[in-house]
Amino acid sequence: MINSNLNPEIERRPLNEIRDFQEHKLHEHLEHLAATSRFYRKLFEKHHIDPGKIRKISDLVNIPITTKNDLQERNNDFICVSRSEIIDYITTSGTAGDPVTFAMTDKDLDRLAYNEAISFTCADGSPNDIYQLMTTIDRRFMAGMAYFLGVRMMGAGIVRVGNGIPELQWDTIRRINPTTIIAVPSFILKVIEYAESHGIDYRKSSITKAVCIGEPLRNEDFTLNTLGRRILEKWPLKLYSTYASTEMGTSFTECGQGLGGHHHPELIITEFLDDNDQPVNEGEPGEVTITTLGIEGMPLLRFKTGDVCYHYSEPCKCGRSTIRLGPVLGRKNQMIKFKGTTLYPPALYDILDNIDFIKNYVVEVFTNDIGTDEILIHAGSSKPIEDREKDIKDHFRAKLRVAPMITFDTIENIHKIIMPESSRKPVKFIDNRGKQDL
Ligand SMILES: [Zn+2]
């Protein structure tokens, strides 16, 4: 049985009622910021903004946006509570190395639990489910802890295996019989690979669903991307994509229809903005810009996330009428204007992932001598594949209408670029635009 408190009625109301509901919450949020946030008090003063006069969501355009740079440079001015009220400290990477600290109060942790509980419920979860957590719960991250708290609030079961170690993942599946995994999709492929090489009949396991985090599963038209298809070809799970970030403290999770992540009106106001911080129309890609609701420790107002996506306002077949966010097309600062087409690196990755003789790759973008963006793919393969260049370019033309330049190298050499010693994360995109002497 599904807990009706975790299926909020407001998500099924017409959009104008949702807007009225959010405007009431926005008013409370602005009062809270004006009373407690050093950063926003200064911002209101500097721009002569009377927060009491911001009544409507459409009035928000009168307030300057907040950037990741602001969070980094003025971190402490964003914290609205005293040290004694903070329970959990979380960090998230900043733009230039130094991380940003997020402070969570007791109530913020309850809010986070509620967010995940309604998100998992949206993704066809119930108290009868047992979740296997395949992501880390510590290391100052928010996500793993949020999932644990959310599953607990739902009254479902959870087993915290953490990331990596396919052997331990399979041992746990065999012992506990969980129904749902929470994992990064590319890790699910590793889990399948391990099962295949160790004679585990994974298709007959207890797992029927996967909540997929961190990487997109779908193309712009909601069909599965290469990663999503690779998983399903092997293991017929029901896949649910979820999009979230520490700054938002809120998730956009798909329902069973798989048509974008549902917005939770109690928790966040979402705008989609262009380069001039003006709202885009439905059908145009916009940068996700959020105003958190109900957060005590580190509330945000018009924070521009850097993620670009489409949004949809048609009511969903699941009965929810909240807007839905399409797959993240890419990071705003990674947008490439190539031969008159706007591209983001994930669209290039998806094509490269689909070419079996390319084992690894790096996408480089630079400014050519006429001052426009040029793309150079560094592709790794175990055998000489120069004669396949035309095939590869045809793949690109078929999907994107344009073809980048390609250079070939050994898998080892490409690996050295992907995994430099100075970086914790793999580097698949190198942006040399505006730099001289390439
Ligand atoms: Zn839905």
From the CA of 66, how far away is ligand 1's center (Å)?
Answer: 30
Interval between CA 138 and ligand 1 midpoint (Å) = 31
d(CA 241, CA 213): 6
Distance CA 13, CA 9 (A): 7
Spell out the residues 6+ positions from residue 218 whose beta carbon is closer than 8 angstroms to its own: 224, 225, 228, 241, 258, 326, 327
Per-residue pLDDT, 438:
44
Residue 179 CA, ligand 1 centroid: distance in Å: 21
How confident is the model at residue 94, as a pLDDT? 63
Measured in Å, residue 273 CA sits from the centre of ligand 1 at 24
Q: Which of 66, 76, 65 is nearest to 98 (CA)?
A: 76
For ligand 1, the distance from its centroid to the CA atom of residue 212, given in whole angstroms, is 16
- For position 434, what pLDDT does the model report? 82
CA–CA separation, 11 and 251 (whole Å):
14
Q: From ligand 1's centre to the CA of 262, what distance in Å?
A: 7
Enter the pTM of the model: 0.90
**Six-digit token string for 411:** 């898998």
Distance 409 CA to ligand 1 centre (A): 45
Distance 105 CA to ligand 1 centre (A): 31
Q: Ligand 1 center to residue 238 CA distance, Å? A: 14
CA of 253 to the centre of ligand 1 (A): 9
Q: How far, in Å, from the CA of 233 to the mean position of ligand 1?
A: 24
Identify whether the C-beta of residue 190 lies closer than 8 Å to the C-beta of residue 163.
no
Measured in Å, residue 322 CA sits from the centre of ligand 1 at 8
Name the residue with tokens 């709202």.
279
Residue 130 phi, psi dihedral angles, 5° rounding = -120, 125
User: What is the spatial distance between Cα 222 and Cα 22, in angstroms, rounded to a whole number?
Assistant: 28
> From first to last of its 438 residues, what are the pLDDT tens digits of the chain?
445 689 999 999 999 999 999 999 999 999 999 999 999 999 999 999 999 999 999 999 999 999 999 999 999 999 999 999 999 999 987 666 678 999 999 999 999 999 999 999 999 999 999 999 999 999 899 999 999 999 999 999 999 999 999 999 999 999 999 999 999 998 999 999 999 999 999 999 999 999 999 888 999 899 999 899 999 999 999 999 999 999 999 999 999 999 999 999 999 999 999 999 999 999 999 999 999 999 999 999 999 999 999 999 999 999 999 999 999 999 988 999 998 888 999 899 999 988 888 999 999 999 988 888 999 999 998 877 778 888 899 989 988 889 999 999 999 999 999 987 766 678 899 999 987 544
How far does residue 119's CA lie from ligand 1's centre (Å)? 11
Helix 226-234 vs helix 345-353: crossing angle, to nearest 10:
40
Residue 43 tokens read as: 């911002």
**How far apart are the CA of 342 and the centre of ligand 1, in A?**
29
